[in-house]
Amino acid sequence: MSALPRHQLIGLLVVGAVVVVLGALWARSGGAGQGGDEARASGGGAVGTVRVDEGGGGRLVIHVAGAVRRPGVYRLEAGARVAAAVRRAGGATRRADLDALNLAARLTDGRQVLVPARAATGGAGGAGARDGGSGGGAPLNLNSATAEQLDQLDGIGPETAAKILEYRQQHGGFGSVDELDAVPGIGPGRLEALRGQVTG
């Protein structure tokens, strides 16, 4: 077989170089990794879909949950506040109780921002909510409970209830019941006694 003429050989080399460059550009643009906006959890139904924001160069990965329009995992810039996380998740819903959050609290990587919904009030001046403190009712939500409701819990007086509210304001809410251990005056023993009475 005779060798290709010089001009044909040069043409083939140019075409090959163009194909390699185009392929590299396509790979860097994320063409092969598209469709990462949502990650499906193992649970069934519509609740099994979790929004994951892969865009932006944020240094913090934050899970925004509760009474927001688009709950999910988002990336935010270092130094961002709780208010920025709520905005990134589409803003609060009408049922949200933003007064229970410290919107100015600084976020840390891996934190969950739980936006609580307003608690339903009883017909007779909220007496039902007050009576259900440590009785056999539903567990009390640490992110929406009032000082009066916390005061009804076993071993929690007005002073400790105030400290719980102060912690909630400073840290943007409770991610779990275990965080009660960080509240002054609540040790491991009291935390175990409260586990069945509260939720995070």
Q: Dump pLDDT digits (tens) for 128-141.
A: 333 444 444 577 88
Residue 85 in contact with residue 132, Cβ under 8 Å?
Answer: no
Looking at the predicted structure, is the pLDDT value of residue 6 above 80?
no
How does residue 13 score in pLDDT terms, banded at 50, 70 and 90? confident
DSSP annotation of 170 reads H
Mean pLDDT computed over 83-93: 91
Looking at the predicted structure, is the pLDDT value of residue 4 above 70?
no
Can you list the positions of beta strands (E) in 101-196? 112-115, 140-141
Residue 144 in contact with residue 158, Cβ under 8 Å?
Answer: no
pLDDT tens, position by position, 148-192: 888 887 778 888 888 888 888 888 788 778 888 888 888 788 878
Residue 51 in contact with residue 70, Cβ under 8 Å?
Answer: yes
Can you list the positions of beta strands (E) in the chain? 38-40, 49-52, 60-66, 72-76, 112-115, 140-141, 198-199
Lowest average pLDDT, out of 17-26, 60-69, 118-127, 180-189, goes to 118-127
Distance of CA 188 to the CA centre of its chain: 26
Which range in 37-46, 79-88, 176-185 is most confidently predicted, on average pLDDT? 79-88
Instruction: Give the C-alpha separation, 182 to 187, whole Å.
Output: 8
Which range in 27-41, 84-98, 161-175 is most confidently predicted, on average pLDDT? 84-98
Phi, psi dihedrals of residue 96, rounded to the nearest 5° = -70, 145
- The token duo for 91 is 């803003």
The pLDDT, as a whole number, for residue 33 is: 43
Mean pLDDT computed over 58-66: 86
The pLDDT, as a whole number, for residue 88 is: 92
The pLDDT, as a whole number, for residue 46 is: 40
How does residue 27 score in pLDDT terms, banded at 50, 70 and 90? low
Looking at the predicted structure, is the pLDDT value of residue 101 above 70?
yes
Residue 104 in contact with residue 113, Cβ under 8 Å?
Answer: no
